[in-house]
Amino acid sequence: MSTPTKYLLDESQMPTFWYNIVADLPKAPPPVLHPGTLQPVGPDDLAPLFPLELIRQEVSTEREIEIPEPVREIYRLWRPSPLYRAHRLEKALGTPAKIFYKYEGVSPAGSHKPNTAVPQAFYNAQAGTKRLTTETGAGQWGTSLSFAGQLFGLEVLVFQVRVSYDQKPYRRAVMETYGARCLPSPSTETEYGRRVLAQRPDHPGSLGVAISEAVELAAQREDTKYALGSVLNHVLLHQTVIGLEAMEQLQMADAWPDVIVGATGGGSNFAGIAFPFIGHGLRGGAKPRIVAVEPAACPSLTRGKYAYDFGDTAHLTPLTKMHTLGSTFTPPPFHAGGLRYHGMAPLVSHLKELGLIEATAYTQTQCFEAGVLFARCEGIVPAPEANHAVKGAIEEALRCKREGKSETILFNLCGHGHFDMAAYQKYFAGELKDETYDERELAMALAGLPSVPEPA
């Protein structure tokens, strides 16, 4: 084999800036609105939950934002992450396409999430925060924040959806290994949790409830802040280190993508790989096609409405304009838990409206089938979320085969599936169903969107 299997960067080649796509957009994204006044929110509205530097990044229009040295010091534990050429997958597909994938599963938490957990913990520690609260479903984000908090001496309190807490104790064990405290939500530690439990003592929990508990504690105490793992601008910003590295690595391979594929739930891993390339195109460089792949059972980009909506089910958050299935929409319980969110990151939604990205949706069995083929060729067993990107990349490679084109495909393999083997087990046992949502429920959720007049 004459061409390499992987392209590695030295620590000294790690990016020193995150890339902020807002600087290059032809049209500014719509403002975030206060749910009471329907006026744009200011820094003061967000200050109870986030440290000032993160609020600054949330609204920044600077193109490059420096990665602080203490963050880079931690990044070096796993970054730069490898870029792989999927030689064996190409051969198995018989495609003339070149397939590259960036692998984020090398992080301690096994996914791209620590890319933002580490700076969030750093800026909080710098601002004097003593404790971070957050919510987690399956546990990927909770694990990442536990790891990051430990490194900067912050106490981390994770509200884990009770059904996951009971059924998936291994992720909780990882969080405890990193020194975090993990509570089943609804819990008795918050007023909201106690209220929910009073109504229904065996409540199984939901991300919406867990967010409300985490936000309630953060808002109450000066020394406590809240951390979110996706959706927000500053979270997407931190993930751009993925695409910035991939640019360097593709240059080593003397290649440039014709198409970039990423899985979308909240939007952060997709933004991480895609935004630097989109920005390069907006500044006059080559414009690859950008394909967001979402689960058919929670299709915010392909079936949702672009409208102002709440980020949580309890309606505690500001209103953001995004592709949404409605904040009361409950996605069916498929296995890519990281993609089970009713909305899409406002920035990703804005890019979709500007025609800068495409979107497509696949069912979970289609995605697992793709993931198993990938594992048998490339060795790595992908997370169920990452299987969506694998499926999207395989479809592009098969299109290239049909069209006889040797395009270059880049996708983000955002995490490994080591904590998701129960889903693979079900897949092999033929027990994995293609859960679908209730069309009436979707219609009702969309009909219930808050009424917000277009700003002048």
Q: Does 428 bind its own copies (CB under 8 A)?
A: yes
Contact 371, 390 (CB under 8 A): yes
User: Is the CB of 195 or the CB of 376 nearer to its own copies?
Assistant: 376
**Does 73 engage in binding with its own copies (CB under 8 A)?**
yes
223 binds its own copies (CB under 8 A): no
Cα dihedral 230→232→237→239 (10° resolution): 0
Contact flag: residue 126 with its own copies (CB under 8 A): no
Q: State the nearest-atom distance from the C-beta of 96 to its own copies, in Å.
A: 21
Kindly indicate which of the ranges 7-15, 16-24, 45-53, 205-213 contains the residues binding its own copies, using the contact rule CB under 8 A. 7-15
Q: By C-beta, is 162 or 172 nearer to its own copies? A: 172
Round to the nearest angstrom and report the end-to-end CA distance of the chain.
60
List binders of its own copies among 174-213 (CB under 8 A). 174, 176-179
Rounded Cα gap, residues 319 and 340, in angstroms: 19
- Contact partners, residue 352, CB within 8 Å, separation at least 6: 292, 301, 306, 323, 344, 359
Which residue stretch of 17-25, 35-43, 345-353, 417-425 sits at the interface with its own copies (rule: CB under 8 A)?
417-425
* DSSP three-state, residue 33: strand
- Near its own copies by CB under 8 A: residue from 128, 169, 285, 455: 169
Q: Which range, of 77-85, 184-192, 201-209, 239-247, touches its own copies by CB under 8 A?
A: 77-85
Residue 4 as a binder of its own copies (CB under 8 A): the answer is: yes
User: Does 438 contact its own copies by CB under 8 A?
Assistant: no
- Nearer to its own copies by C-beta: 329 or 424? 424
**Piece of the chain touching its own copies by CB under 8 A; list 258-266, 339-347, 423-431, 438-446:** 423-431
**Member of 16, 418, 443, 444 binding its own copies (CB under 8 A):** 418
Token code pair at residue 380? 């790595």
Smallest gap from residue 270 Cβ to its own copies (A): 24
Among residues 92 and 398, whose Cβ is nearest to its own copies? 92
Integer Cα distance of 28 and 51 in angstroms: 24
Alpha-carbon separation of residue 108 from 37, 133, 211, 317 (angstroms): 42, 20, 24, 30
Contacting residues for 122 by C-beta, under 8 A, at least 6 apart: 68, 70, 71, 74, 148, 152
Is 139 within 8 Å of 337 (Cβ atoms)?
no
Binding mask 350-389 vs its own copies (x if CB under 8 A, - otherwise)?
A: ----------------------x--xx-xxxx--------
Give the total of residues touching its own copies (CB under 8 A): 44
Angle at 79 between CA 75 and CA 82, to 5 degrees: 165
Token duo for residue 161:
């959806």
Residue 4 or 42 with smaller CB distance to its own copies: 4
Instruction: Tell me whether residue 31 or residue 68 sits nearer to its own copies (CB atom).
Output: 68
Find the binder of its own copies among 47, 52, 61, 77 (CB under 8 A).
Answer: 77
Does the bond joining 186 to the residue before it have cis omega, within 30 degrees of 0?
yes
| 298 interacts with its own copies by CB under 8 A | no
| 3 state SS of 149 | helix
DSSP letters, 337-355, are: GGG--SB--HHHHHHHHTT
C-alpha–C-alpha distance, residues 244 and 254, integer Å: 16
Contact flag: residue 421 with its own copies (CB under 8 A) = yes
Question: What tokens were used for 182?
Answer: 């993990």
321 forms bridges with which residues in the sheet?
A: 308
C-alpha radius of gyration, the chain, whole number: 21
Q: Which residues bind its own copies (CB under 8 A)?
A: 1, 4-6, 8, 10-11, 73, 76-78, 84, 88, 106-108, 110, 147, 150-151, 169-174, 176-179, 372, 375-376, 378-381, 418-419, 421-422, 424-425, 428
